[in-house]
Amino acid sequence: MNYTIHQLQIFLKVVQKQSITKASEELFMTQPAVSIQLKNFQDQFDISLYEIIGRKLHITDFGKEIALIAERVIEELNTINYKTEAYKGMLTGKLKISSASTGKYVIPFFLEEFLSNNAGIDLVLDVTNKTKVVQSLKNNEIDFALVSVVPDLLDVEEELLIDNKLYLISSEPQPNEQMPLIYREEGSATRSAMEHYYGTHNSKARKRLELTSNEAVKQAVIAGLGNSIMPLIGIKNELIEKQLYILPIEDLPVTTKWRLIWLKGKRMSPVAKAYLDFIQLKKNEILEEKFKWYQEYK
């Protein structure tokens, strides 16, 4: 056998994504290039690693076993790289963060300087809904979670970052009680806040759509399909361009807090500890430089 590390990485990514197209996007390769390397890797084995049935990729049981081994091999290779850099005096390793979907408008600004100053650190950032974020934290798969509401029945510590302000958003500048409501999916913190608000204000507005991302909700509101309670942090450009309007409604905005949380008593890696120290030292400076518009918005 004469397969390469690159082929192991490609095969593992294809298995993780269950798609050559999605794997090629994440690897910044063309689809034909991934397909060629995948075939070259398969040619090293007498047993099928995958099958394509009805244009859909299926990983065989043997392929799944090889993927598990490939994952361990790549982790060990990363460890070699980290150890090499560490001996040269660099902070090295992985920083693993899972963020609630709207947190994608927040967390990059709290990472940029830290990663720029520490070239030996690899970031693994998973942006998903609150339920999956909390599950990753509960399973101790990540260093930190970025959430706007502290999860129940989970003993955590936290570092507050910034307010999360939610307003009623419309494509029209004036309130229209006939407009239906657009909700996020079950498990979303924004969905919970919206349900709580309308559950306590006897609204007669009906639910029309349920969408699985903040971006999808935003585009649906712009298209005039309905109104929604949304985080201010994600609609700055649309407000400037007058694609969206904030409606003056009683008891809004709803305000929570974006916070980094981690399991209480967790033994942090040197990278995670360094990042937390950075946040505590630089937080106010980042807020002043990157979020002044947001904090001043009334």
Q: Where are the beta strands (DSSP E) in 198-271?
A: 207-211, 228-231, 245-246, 254-263
Task: Supply the pTM of this predicted model.
Answer: 0.68
Residue 44: partners with Cβ closer than 8 Å, 6 or more residues away = 1, 2, 3
Give tens-digit pLDDT for 94-134. Answer: 899 999 888 999 999 999 999 999 888 989 999 888 888 99
Domain ranges of the chain: 5-87, 93-162+257-296, 164-255
**Cα-based angle 144, 149, 154 (whole degrees, multiple of 5):** 60
Q: Report yes or no: 26 and 10 within 8 Å, Cβ to Cβ.
A: no
Structural contact between residues 60 and 49, judged by C-beta atoms closer than 8 angstroms: yes
Fold category of 93-162+257-296 in CATH = D-Maltodextrin-Binding Protein; domain 2 (3.40.190)
Is the domain defined by 164-255 classed in CATH 3.40.1280.10? no
| Fold agreement between 5-87 and 93-162+257-296 | no
Q: Which listed CATH number (1.10.10.10, 3.30.1280.10, 1.10.10.60, 3.40.190.80) goes with 5-87?
A: 1.10.10.10
Residues 147, 152: Cα–Cα separation, whole Å: 12
8 A C-beta contact, residue 22 and residue 8:
no
Neighbouring residues of 131: CB distance < 8 A, sequence distance ≥ 6: 186, 187
* Helix ranges restricted to H, 128-174: 130-138
| 3-class SS of residue 205 | coil
Residue 157 confidence (pLDDT): 95
Instruction: Provide the residue-wise pLDDT of the chain in tens; the chain has 298 residues.
Output: 788 889 989 998 999 888 888 888 888 888 889 999 999 999 999 999 999 888 888 999 999 999 999 888 888 887 777 676 655 666 788 899 999 888 999 999 999 999 999 888 989 999 888 888 999 999 889 999 999 888 888 899 999 999 999 999 999 999 888 888 999 888 788 888 888 888 787 667 777 788 888 889 999 999 999 999 999 998 999 999 999 999 988 888 989 899 999 999 888 888 898 999 999 999 999 999 999 888 887 6
Judge contact between 105 and 234, C-beta under 8 A. Answer: yes
What per-residue confidence (pLDDT) applies to 55? 81
